[in-house]
Amino acid sequence: MAEALATIIRVEGLGMVTIRADLDHAGDAIAEASGLAIPDQTRIVTDGSRSLGWMSPDELLLVLPAAERADALTALTDALAGEHALVVDVSDARAVFDVTGPHAADVIGKLMPVDLDMLPHDGLRRSRAAQTAAALWRIPGGFRLIGFRSTADYLRLILENAAIPGSQLAPR
Amino acid sequence: MSRTPPFRLVRGGRLIDRAFQLAFRFDGRHLRGVQGDTLASALLANGQMLMGRSFKYHRPRGPLASGAEEPNALFGLGQGGRFEPNQRASTTALVAGMVLRSQNCWPSLDADVGAINTWLSPLLPAGFYYKTFIHPRPFWKHLFEPIIRRSAGLGRAPTGPDPDRYEQAYGFAEVVVVGGGIAGLTAAREAADKGGRVIVLEQDPHWGGRTPTDHDGGQAAIDAALADLRGRANVTLRRNTMAVGLYDHGYLLARETLADHDPNQGIPRQRLWRIRAGHVITATGALERPLSFACNDVPGVMLASAMRDFIADYGVAPGKRIVVVTNNDDAYRTALTAQAAGLDVVAVIDARPQATGDGPQAARAAGIPVMTGTAVAKVKGGTHVEGVALCDQSGTGRVTGALDCDVVAMSGGWSPVVHLYSHCGGRITWDEAQAMFRPDPSRPPLGADGKPMVTVLGAANGDLRCAGDLERAEAPTMPVWVMPRNAPYKLRAKMWLDFQNDVKVSDVELAAREGYASVEHAKRYTTLGMATDQGKTSNINGLAVLSAALDQPLEATGTTTFRPPYTPLTLGTIAAEARGEAFQPLRKTPIHDWHARHGASWEPVGHWRRPYSYPRAGEDRYAAVHREILAVRNGVGTLDASTLGKIIVKGPDAGRFLDMMYTNMMSTLPVGKCRYGLMCNENGFLMDDGVVARLSADTWLCHTTTGGADRIHAHMEDWLQCEWWDWQVHAANLTEQYAQIAIAGPKARELLQRLPGTIDLSQDALPFMQWAEGELAGIPARVYRISFSGELSYEIAVPAGRGLELWEKLHDTGRDLGITPYGTEAMHVMRAEKGFIMIGDETDGTVIPQDLGLHWAISKKKPDYIGKRAQARSFMKDGGRWQLVGLESLDGRVLPDGAHAVEPGVNANGQRRTQGRVTSSYHSPTLNRPIAMGLVRHGPARMGQVLEFPMPGGGVMKARIVDPVFYDKEGTRLNG
Amino acid sequence: MLILTCPYCGVKAEETELSPGGEAHLKRIGPDGTAADFEAYLFARKNIKGVHFERWRHAYGCGKWFLAARDTHTMQVYGTYKAQTAHATDEIVANARQARPEWVPDWPQASEAVVG
């Protein structure tokens, strides 16, 4: 039997922190506390094991190893003290999947109304995967997709269905 | 003339490979075809011209066309769940082992008793149903409708679920070209030169459209164009892909068939492409029109283009002696093709006074008789063609001669395929010179930028010459809508327009006489164009007949609306991945699997699945509810409340904002405390409720109902972004970050105090409606002292990832206390015992908090909140509103949920007047009697009165109006 | 199915990524409003064949509400703009007037800007 179009792995052990603030005003403080540059609109900045994604004009998502989450929460909360800002732990609210392999884009292309040709190497796209909200960015060899924890089984199911062997999108 | 084998020609057939023989079954007979055959060509190659029965008269039908427009040769294909009705023989590839079933006939295709309808045809005119079955009224329901329903519908529906897999995919391109003929491929090359992404879609398995069949050097031109396109990285060529609909802003749906030929391959059978095109080029070609002469529906009369396709593409001779009937030059190609294949072309009957184009000249040179100014007066034969009678086209049908033949190739001219162009608003215009509707270049469909989003090229644009070097000189088509021109009624009543639905020239004329002048009305009255082919072959001819009957130009009649899909879509492609377990995103709490392991009977709440109850061996779900309630009332129980919405609202203006969101005052809530809040919409109606906790000076946590989490968060964002955007507030939906567990019952505190932790859970330290934070059982937790059951109760929120751990620790620790998991139904019953309202039970979108006696939760100090103005409207303050009360059944039976209380008199519709309804009704295990709540006019002022509730099927239940709080009105238990 | 560009994040979103929110530029009528004004605020909606202003939320994206100027007949999008804007921009007005010269904005300053 031919192979699945992509390898689908649920990623555990990630910490995630949502930061809501006026990015023009508080950007420097966030950058310093998170150790990452503030991403441009719809981009994600990655350095080693940490990423900082642009989610909306007043929202960033810090993704980092779970072990560093508590320190990061404290650092960000301290850095934004006195600002009108919200720093909250959302690590437990998410399900994360890595979709990798030569046909990873086909799998995503069956589920998300996103023009992947136009997604930059550091692009972050919030959209939907079939019927549930999801955000997407590129990782080496494929894509990382984050959705809600409660729909983790659904996400895995639709990703695996979209990856069934022999179903690549290339014309035949 | 009789038909004799062989029907497969010894040579020719560019699409078939004779080396591969394929066995298949047709109505039980074992037949053989070859690789590359369609069902139609394979059946013809076996001498099977009869392929179906018409819908109304059950007339014998042979194939009319060779493409997607085929109205006659439709089969039921496959078996069991894979059975599909109405599959077109002309576009379905033959697969070894296929099982074909003919439709709309009984007992068999050859001997169909329904064919008697054809003798009744004078009694079954247009509008027959409307005229016949109206009176007497009861006959419709009991006699006519059942009979019609049994005989109506073409084909039958499959009875099992479709076992195949389907999927969708999103596509993006700067230009999408629909149609892989020479026009489309040429356009694709030009589009690709500009550098953008180009997708080319071709409905057939092979490229070229009509070009290779109709033009010398056609195949070479196609091959050259393909070779060029295949070398370009920005071009995607996709065959077997039918563009079915074009919608606003360049949204194009196309169905790609992947495994129709081999369902056991394990890959999706079909894929629906959802393509966003910057620009769409439709090069979809044209469809040939039939000619309307008497008995043009006898099997063996087919479109001239179809006949040459069968000969040239599949190496099949539909017949041995061919008569071609035409009003244009194109049909001469069929004569020449047939003759070159060694068949006998008896004559070309050309309705035009003269025929001088290249085609006619070539035919004459080849020795084919050409008879101009001539018409077919009638086709002879019943189940197959035996000959034609001839007459003058300009006359009334006086027979001037006859020809023996076994097939007739007809061509009434060509109609551009303007469907996609028209789907999204493109307008068409009547081209008198070419006798066709074609796209009006001044009124194309517009895209998001206001510029034309569709370009139509080639035959689809009315350019019937082939592109490039393949052009040849053709004389004009002469419009021929009835043959002969002055045919009497006797002939017109035998001229078929819609071959599947049995609509004849005389039917359309009758509709016009009866006043159905609008083309849309005439269509529905006669059923013209309502067959599975949606009028692809019948529409224009019918419109022309209607126009003549109305004595108006075709332009004035117009066309019916072109609606997607171009050809039928299998529902599987529309559902795609959304089937079975993936039908909807099923949301699961962090404790879901525990519930499943412990036998939860599920209740869907939004997309969530929540345990309704946990039946044990020997219990049904209701017995379990009974047991769970008593366990909570007498000991301790746990409820998975993780689905409740949890929205953090933070900022300097958060208090002010929440004062606008809720009817009560939230800004004054002290830190550490909880308050039950009501949320209304601007109409004043109650939309959600929940407990709000103040976490810090500038932070509140708002609980919402399970179904309300996303909606209420969106509601808050709407007001924050669009109305009070200068207020400094952040709202974040943290519903899924936390697992939340309710621990309720007189032993709740005892249980929790057994767990190690840093939180003082005593009554003094943590009284009712307060919260505390710390560690519980080694897990960071926030504990709310809130109660929806009326018992001593705590709700504990922990990070979702540790919810199961806490739940299991509670159950390990509380075993000797009889700890019992309880589900949503126990929760519902217990809250009703307490007289607590439930959003969706006591509210239905028309209920204001005042109706529910919740005045205490509506601030009178606040100048404003969402819904305040509406609640001041006159009818909101009207004392005649239905208001919340308890209801006590007089005879011990449980009132049906939703039952209406009646009062004397009838309303304007002659229905009993009502004065209230039951909103919640249960058997209370705690009280061991029925309890109910309801909304009753002036209810609270009518304590003790008895209401009557008529029951379905007769009888009345009576209930007394009582206080809605049935249990522990003083609240001593929840304060315990 | 529409495509609208979210003015907050620049994403060209398709309709399935958006939630509709009805007519734009409604003025909220609070507790002091007259019955007639409040009725109009709650219920009276334009039903225009032509230039229309409407609310959309980029629900599956950045979550922001924005406004779109769209032609309900031709589906042309004259522009999208942020929700915290009192009126469509001059550029959007110009786009709409180019397609529909007979259309005039119903707020005073912008029409002057266009005429001038």
Q: Please check whether residue A106 lies inside any domain of the structure.
A: yes
Nearest by Cα to A14 from A87, A91, A72, A71: A91
What is the distance in angstroms between the Cα of B869 and the nearest Cα belonging to chain C?
4
Q: In this structure, are residues B819 and B751 in contact, taking their beta carbons and an 8 Å threshold?
A: yes
Per-residue pLDDT band for C115 (boundaries 50, 70, 90) equals very low
Q: What percent of chain B has pLDDT over 70?
A: 95
Note whether A41 contacts C: Cβ–Cβ < 8 A.
Answer: yes
Within 13 Å and on the Cβ side, how many CA atoms surround B936? 30
Instruction: Give pLDDT, residue B56.
Output: 82
Which of A91, A124, A139 is at the close of a domain? A91
Give the 3-state secondary structure of residue B86: strand
Contact B276 C38 (CB under 8 A): no
Q: Helix crossing, B519-526 with B505-513: angle to 10°?
A: 120
Provide the mean pLDDT of chain B: 93
What pLDDT sits at residue C114? 45
CATH architecture of the domain with residue range B874-962: Beta Barrel (2.40)
Which residue in chain A is spatially nearest to B608 when comparing CA positions? A150
Q: What is the DSSP letter of B174?
A: E
Neighboring chain B residues of C75 at a CB cutoff of 8 Å: 248-249, 425, 446-448
What is the DSSP annotation of A76-143? HHHHTTTSS-EEEE-GGGEEEEEEESTTHHHHHHTT----GGG--TTBEEEEEETTEEEEEEEETTEE
Beta strands across the sheet bearing C51-57: C19-23, C51-57, C65-71, C77-82
Answer yes or no: is A171 within a domain.
no
What is the residue range of A139's domain? 7-11+93-162
The alpha carbon dihedral of B467, B470, B474, B479 has a sign of negative
Q: Is the pLDDT of residue B893 over 60?
A: yes
Task: Give the whole-angstrom CA distance, residue B465 versus residue B474.
Answer: 8
Distance separating alpha carbons of residues A46 and A64, to the nearest angstrom: 10
The reply to whether residue B578 touches residue A166, judged by beta carbons under 8 angstroms, is no
Q: Model confidence over B607-649: pLDDT tens digits?
A: 999 999 999 999 999 999 999 999 999 999 999 999 999 999 9
Position C110 scores a pLDDT of: 47
Set of chain C residues whose Cβ sits within 8 Å of the Cβ of B868: 30-31
A68 and A100 together in one domain: no
Rounded CA-CA distance B19/B805 in Å is: 67
Element (H, E) at B186: helix B182-193
- ipTM beyond cut 0.90: yes
**DSSP category for residue B833:** H
- Chain C contact for A57, CB < 8 A? yes
| Phi, psi dihedrals of residue C59, rounded to the nearest 5° | -65, -40
Give the least confident one: B105-114, B270-279, B661-670.
B105-114
Q: Are residues A30 and A73 in the same domain?
A: yes
Write out the residue limits of the CATH 3.30.1360.120 domain(s) in chain B. 592-642+737-831
Q: Cβ–Cβ of A85/B801 closer than 8 Å? A: no
* Residue pLDDT, tens place only, B366-396: 999 999 999 999 999 999 999 999 999 999 9
Q: Are strands B251-257 and B270-282 parallel, antiparallel or unpaired?
A: antiparallel
What are the residue ranges of CATH 3.50.50.60 in chain B?
A: 166-287+416-470, 288-412+475-557
In a domain, A53, yes or no: yes
The Cα angle at residue B52 between residues B46 and B58, in degrees rounded to 5:
145
Omega prior to A120 cis, within 30 of 0: no
| Distance from the C84 Cα atom to the nearest Cα atom in chain A, whole angstroms | 14
Give the amino acid at A95: A
- At residue B136, does pLDDT exceed 90? no
What pLDDT is recorded for position B152? 59
- Same domain, yes or no: A86 and A98: no
C2–chain A Cβ distance below 8 A for any pair: no
**Residue A32's domain is classified under what CATH number?**
3.30.70.1520
List helix spans (H) across B215-352.
Answer: 218-230, 304-314, 332-340
Three-state DSSP state, B488: coil
Q: Decide if domain B288-412+475-557 falls under CATH 3.20.20.80.
A: no
Mean pLDDT is lowest, of B113-117, B204-208, B553-557, for: B113-117
Nearest to A41 among C9, C13, C14 (CB): C9
Q: What is the CATH number of domain B645-736?
A: 3.30.70.1400
Q: Find out whether B405 and B320 touch, Cβ atoms under 8 Å.
A: no
B606 φψ region: left (φ > 0), alpha (ψ -120 to 50), beta (else)? left
Question: Is the minimum CB–CB distance between C17 and chain A shorter than 8 Å?
Answer: yes
B17-128, CATH topology level: Ubiquitin-like (UB roll) (3.10.20)
Inform me whether the pLDDT recorded for C112 exceeds 60. Answer: no
CATH 3.40.50.10310 fits B166-287+416-470, yes or no: no
Size of the A and C interface in Cβ pairs below 8 Å: 35
- Residues of chain A below pLDDT 50: none
Q: How far apart are CA C1 and CA B274, in angstroms?
A: 11
- Do both A126 and A105 map to the same domain? yes
Q: How confident is the model at residue C111 (pLDDT cuts 50, 70, 90)?
A: very low
Cis peptide leading into residue B107 (ω within 30°)? yes
> Residue B101's pLDDT band (boundaries 50, 70, 90)?
confident
CB contact under 8 A, A162 and B167: yes
Residues of chain B with CATH 3.10.20.440: 17-128
With beta carbons less than 8 A apart as the criterion, state whether B86 and B166 touch: no
Q: What is the pLDDT of residue B90?
A: 95
Strand order in the sheet with B779-784: B771-776, B779-784, B793-799, B738-744, B637-640, B820-821
Mean pLDDT in residue range B267-294:
97
Q: How close A16 comes to chain B (CA, Å)?
A: 11
| Nearest residue in chain C measured CA to CA from B866 | C30
Collapse the DSSP code of B278 into the 3-class scheme (helix H, G, I; strand E, B; otherwise coil) and give the result.
Answer: strand
Task: Find the closest chain B residue to C76 by CA distance.
Answer: B448
Per residue in B559-601, pLDDT tens? Answer: 999 999 999 999 999 999 999 999 999 999 999 999 999 999 9
Q: What is the pLDDT of residue B147?
A: 63
B730: contact with C, CB 8 A cutoff: no
pLDDT attached to residue B516: 93
- What is the number of domains present in chain A? 2
Fold observed for domain B592-642+737-831 = Gyrase A; domain 2 (3.30.1360)
Inter-chain touch B799–A162, beta carbons under 8 Å = no
Residues of B in Cβ contact (< 8 Å) with A154: 582, 585-587
> What is residue B104's predicted lDDT score, i.e. its pLDDT?
72
Q: What is the pLDDT of residues B15-50, one digit of tens each?
A: 999 999 999 999 889 999 999 999 999 999 999 999
* Other chains touching B, judged by 3 or more CB pairs under 8 Å: A, C
Which distant-in-sequence residues (6+ apart) come within 8 Å of B508 by Cβ?
B126, B497, B522, B526, B528, B542, B545, B546, B549
User: Chain C window 77-106: which residues touch A at a Cβ cutoff of 8 Å?
Assistant: none
Residue B286 and residue B418 in contact, taking contact as beta carbons nearer than 8 Å:
no
Same domain, A18 and A80: yes
Nearest of C59, C51, C47, C49 to residue C21 by alpha carbon: C59
What is the architecture, at CATH level 2, of domain C3-88? 2-Layer Sandwich (3.30)
CB B800 within 8 A of CB B740: no
pLDDT of residue B76: 87
Say yes or no to pLDDT of B445 above 60.
yes
Residue B873: list chain C partners with CB under 8 A: 35, 38
Domain assignment present for A168? no
Q: B215-246 pLDDT, tens per residue? A: 989 999 999 999 999 999 999 999 999 999 99
- pLDDT tens track for B298-322: 999 999 999 999 999 999 999 999 9
Asked if A120 is an interface residue toward chain C (Cβ–Cβ < 8 A), one would say no
Q: What CATH number should be reported for the domain holding residue A101?
A: 3.30.1360.120
For residue A39, cis peptide bond before it (omega within 30 degrees of 0): no
**The sheet that has A14-20: what strands, in order across it?**
A44-47, A50-56, A59-65, A14-20, A86-89
Residue B4 pLDDT grade (very low, low, confident, very high; cuts 50, 70, 90): confident
State the CB neighbour count (10 A cutoff) for residue B23. 12
